[in-house]
Structure 1
Amino acid sequence: MSEKQLDLFESIEKASQKTDNTELSGVITLSKKLVEQSKIVEDLTSALKEETKKLNKIQFEDLPELMNEIDMVSTEIEVDGKVFKLSKSEKFYASVTRERKPFVIKWLRDNNHTGLIKNEIVAQVGKGKDNVAADVCAYIENAGLDVTREENIHTGSFKALVKDDIEKGKDVPLDELGVSRVIQASLKEVT
Structure 2
Amino acid sequence: MTFSSDKLADLEPIKPIASPYIEVSVGDFTAHLDENKSLTNNEAGRVIIDKMMENWKDNNYIRDFTYSNNNLAEKAQYKLFLRGHQEDTSSFVMQFLSAITFLLIPATSETSYNLIYELEEVHSEKKYFAEVADNISTTTWLLFFPALPFSSMGANNTFQRISEHIYQNFAKQGAFVNLENPTDLNAIDR
TM value normalised by structure 2: 0.20
| TM-score, scaled relative to structure 1 | 0.20
> Larger % of strand: which?
2
The structure whose Rg is larger is 1
- Give 1 or 2: higher helix fraction: 1
